[in-house]
Amino acid sequence: MCALEIKNLKLSVNDNIILDGFSLKILPGEIHAFIGKNGVGKSSLTKAIAGHPAYKIQRGDIILDGENIIGKAPDKIARQGLFLAFQSPIELPGISLANFIRAAIQAKLPQGTPLNGVDFYKNLYAKMEILQIDKSFTSRPLNEGFSGGEKKRCEVLQMMMLEPKYAILDETDSGLDIDALKIVSNAVNAMRNSTFAAIIITHHNKLLEYIKPDFVHIISGGKIATSGGFELIDRLEKFGYEFINDENIL
């Protein structure tokens, strides 16, 4: 069955337990939002899913389309359809934005399959227009000298070009002004279809007003403390995180 499923995950970093008993199933077509205080493990979870070796899975499973991906190399996981947009994208001097994206797409193709250059640039320019990224960025070293907002828009550009089955957007809205936030949100909404699923991690509700999630999860105590729809955002704004353990408010 096509799904990204996390089962009873216990996760540690430097011998510190970050998550314990975390479970979630994400089906194609669904958008899930993760919300929680700083340090509750939201970003740690994304890195563990993507195969970062520093994040130790002590118990549980991460199942991607029926296959347990724990212990697999990050590039293998990416080829299976997972995309992670970093909270703080790194600079890659000497590698242009266009060549980076082209190499990533080529790596997903069966060995020996050529990538049509004309079609690639036609598609790239169309996506850049949606994100309002100037064409001059194609020849610039990836993220070098980019503003925070430019880095985030280029992350979304990579996602749009790679067309992953499952995308994780880790605070993609940080560093974006209101206009850039709308542009990025429109790009993500343009990708929504029955075969695409995403996890959105944010501290700011504005992004979720533009990208309406199907499910909202509040993470606390190493697991999902409560789940629901967009109404959880309203409760959070009104009561803060105190409402999680307050049955009267729930």
pLDDT confidence of residue 246: 47
**In which residue are the tokens 């994780």 written?**
168
* Summary mean pLDDT of the chain: 91
Above 80 in pLDDT, residue 48? yes
pTM assigned to the model: 0.91
pLDDT at 249: 39
> Residue 45 and residue 42: Cα distance in Å, rounded?
5
Written as one string, the DSSP assignment of 49-98 is HHT-TTEEEEEEEEEETTEE-TT--HHHHHHTTEEEE-SSPPPEEEEEHH
Rounded CA-CA distance 116/72 in Å is 30
Strand 197-201 to 166-170 pairing: parallel
Looking at residue 78, its amino acid is A
Given a cut of 60, is residue 250 above it in pLDDT? no
The answer to whether 242 and 235 have CB atoms below 8 angstroms apart is no
Residue 193 buriedness (CB in 10 A; 0-12 / 13-18 / 19+): exposed
Contact 236, 243 (CB under 8 A): yes
Dump pLDDT digits (tens) for 172-196.
Answer: 888 888 999 999 999 999 999 999 9
Domains of the chain: 4-90+166-245 (3.40.50.300)
pLDDT given for residue 243 in this prediction? 62
The owner of tokens 């105190």 is 242
pLDDT at 234: 81
Instruction: Give yes or no for a contact between 137 and 97, defined as CB atoms under 8 angstroms apart.
Output: yes
pLDDT classification of 86: cutoffs 50, 70, 90: confident
For residue 232, what pLDDT is reported? 87
More confident residue, 65 or 87: 65
* Pair of tokens at residue 249: 């408010």
pLDDT, tens digit, for every residue of 87-134? Answer: 889 999 999 999 999 999 999 988 889 999 999 999 999 999 999 999
